[in-house]
Chain A
């Protein structure tokens, strides 16, 4: 078998005038949408690989029209989240989806060099418009015909302005040195070691931000595992997440992908452009060019910046997987999140407080938001610590920790998920913030006040609840 030609996945905001990449993409989407859901190359089958069924009010597909139960069990509901398989699984998913699109495009008389574009919403230094949904996806119709790239229900309205806080599109994840991490502490760039995890627990740094953030920011179909693949924008978003894996790997500070057989050789099943079953493994996903594509731009977003600035990481030498972090304090009751500000006080154990920042280990501190459960559309929140009592957190950006995106919370709270409804757990590093507050005398050794502020209006009837907030030292 020969080496496949290498195609270029281009930045959707840098496509030259008259470029037909999106036009052909729309035609491929329309063609795939005509196919029956039983067909592995159909639009709905491809979305179901990520998750199925879509929640009401989506129409229920009669069982007779669905693939067999064995087929569904093997090929549907396969997306890997909260797992170190997040990156390689989605890469394989993109590769075979792109091949299916290209085959449709070629059959329609389009170019065999076609490749998916990517949406780099984080490159807004010179063009703040990149944070908007690309215009080709915003119009319900084009030339009097329905626009296959449009779906109703996204946030942002006609302007496509969906990003509420620049932190949602932060790419600080690429500063992480390790691919994987440890419980309670850093989840690494790529996530914690898990088994098959369709709705795992703790996302890696890239999966959390910008991936989860942008799913929540776009909203609508993009807001849930079982509907995300039905939005044509999903595939451009994931190309960007896939591109960030390449950016991370190219950074001098990166320790590279896991070398464990448990990661390299895990088998995932999917279909190719001919509808034939194929198996791929993370080890075969490490090179983009070996898989027939590369990105227009994988330049370092932090050129010349040491990893010790911004996000803290241990100096060399460093173990590929850090030891587990130690619990320093936790709430003993669950915390509901609603449409307004919510807060909780986390008591810190005296012994741990003495060993806080700068103590043993790597001297890092992590805020864990554990077992977040809820149903309905996922909201997003801003997290602050130690905002002076009675004051508006928005007026204290120096106390801002990061975002709390709740993409997939419905599926991860369902007993049908692989973790039986455990919900979502996210980890935010607060080492820099803790150091800063400590140096300013604003760090209380006995407790931590954590506040959550909705990033955008929360859907009525939201039932989001945090199981526990904890602080870990590593």
Chain B
């Protein structure tokens, strides 16, 4: 008798949920994203939530007064936990097609393991660049004296310029890449991990500029949602057609600039 691919789902939700999970294994990406968005939005509406207190007082307690002051001004810190939440909310949905490939090209019995290894590789790439984003965000924040609109305008402008570039289109095409996966053993594990790393690199190369937007906006939910919407639209929209995200992103940048200038 076959072992279920998702034993926990089987025990909690019964056969119907398990059948859904088996038919739509990529749904896990949307579930993770929804959960991360929920936590982020909840935290935004409750600024005193422990998540941010830990980051602002513990992790960065040894920093200079200036930096601590800057951090205190940030609505959200760049603690790894928060970064992971942001990646989970904004970037994990981008893996849906690849997750489906990984799941359906794996034996049912090892589907969870394959997906886990893929996600490990994918998230590792985003964690590796977290320090660079932290430094950049702090630098922008300190240079701007805590103002958000000008850095945000610049981030939108950078994203608009990148979205319309040929290099961006090439990176985006790589995000749709599939690979053959050995079925069993260490070779299978390594292939899933490598696919996750490769997919993470492609996503990073494609979306790095969009991720400047939440960084520059002190992680206000509205710009974060705008960046996520642009990423999802281009990933799931008509491939091969001219980019349609640069113009609205550029317009958003102009609006921010105008608000700052007033």
Q: Footprint of B on A, CB under 8 Å? A: 70, 73-74, 77-78, 183-184, 195-198, 201, 266, 323-327, 329-334, 347, 349, 351-352, 355, 370-371, 415-422, 425, 467-468, 470
Contacts and interface: CB of A to CB of B under 8 A. Distances in A.
Contacts of A326: 2, 108
A420 B2 CA distance: 35
12 contacts: A74-B241, A184-B105, A195-B236, A196-B241, A327-B104, A332-B185, A371-B178, A415-B174, A418-B173, A422-B176, A468-B180, A470-B105
Contact of A371 (B173, B179, B202): B179
B240 A418 contact: yes
A417 B172 CA distance: 11
Contacts of A74: 241-242
B183 A422 contact: no
Contacts of B202: 420
B181 A468 contact: yes
A326 B107 CA distance: 7
Contact of A70 (B23, B101, B181, B242): B242
A196 B242 contact: no
Interface in B2-16: 2
A418 B242 contact: no
Contacts of B242: 70, 73-74
Given A324-B22, A330-B183, A198 B239 contact: yes
Interface of B: 2, 19, 22-23, 100-101, 104-109, 170, 173-185, 187-188, 202, 236-242
**Secondary structure of the A contact surface, majority rule:** loop
A218 B179 CA distance: 30
Contacts of B178: 201, 371, 419, 422, 425
Contacts of B184: 332
A332 B173 contact: no
Contacts of A352: 107
Contacts of B170: 415-416
A183 B173 contact: no
Contacts of B179: 371, 422, 467
A110 B82 CA distance: 71
Nearest to B176: A419
A420 B105 contact: no
B22 A184 contact: no
The list of the 5 closest CB pairs from A to B, nearest first, reads A467-B180, A468-B180, A332-B182, A420-B177, A196-B238
A183 B100 contact: yes
A196 B239 CA distance: 5
A183 B183 contact: no
B106 to A, nearest CB: 7
A198 B241 CA distance: 10
Most interface-central of B2, B184, B238, B240 (chain A CB within 10 A): B240
A399 to B, nearest CB: 24
Nearest to B174: A420
B23 A323 contact: yes
Contact of A324 (B23, B183, B188, B240): B23
Given A332-B187, A470-B105, A422 B241 contact: no
Contacts of A370: 105, 180
Given A183-B104, A371-B180, A419-B178, A78 B240 contact: yes
Given A78-B240, A334-B180, A416-B173, 4 more contacts: A183-B104, A184-B104, A195-B239, A333-B182
Contacts of B239: 195-198, 418
Nearest to A74: B242
A323 B22 contact: yes
Contacts of B107: 327, 349, 352
B177 A422 contact: yes
Nearest to B181: A468
B21 to A, nearest CB: 11
B231 to A, nearest CB: 15
A420 B97 CA distance: 14
A351 B182 CA distance: 18
A327 B183 contact: yes
Nearest to A194: B239
Contacts of A196: 237-241
Contacts of B105: 184, 327, 330, 370, 468, 470
B14 to A, nearest CB: 17
A195 B238 contact: yes
Contacts of B241: 73-74, 196
B95 to A, nearest CB: 15
A201 B183 CA distance: 20
A416 B239 CA distance: 12
Contact of B177 (A184, A332, A421): A421
Nearest to A416: B173
A192 to B, nearest CB: 11
B4 to A, nearest CB: 12
A418 B176 contact: yes
A332 B183 contact: yes
Nearest to B105: A327
Nearest to A71: B242
A468 B182 CA distance: 8
A369 to B, nearest CB: 10
A77 B236 CA distance: 18
Contacts of A415: 170, 173-174
Contacts of A349: 107, 183
A406 to B, nearest CB: 16
Contacts of B174: 415, 420-421
A330 B182 contact: yes
A227 to B, nearest CB: 18
B97 to A, nearest CB: 9
Contacts of A371: 178-180
A439 B208 CA distance: 57
B224 to A, nearest CB: 25
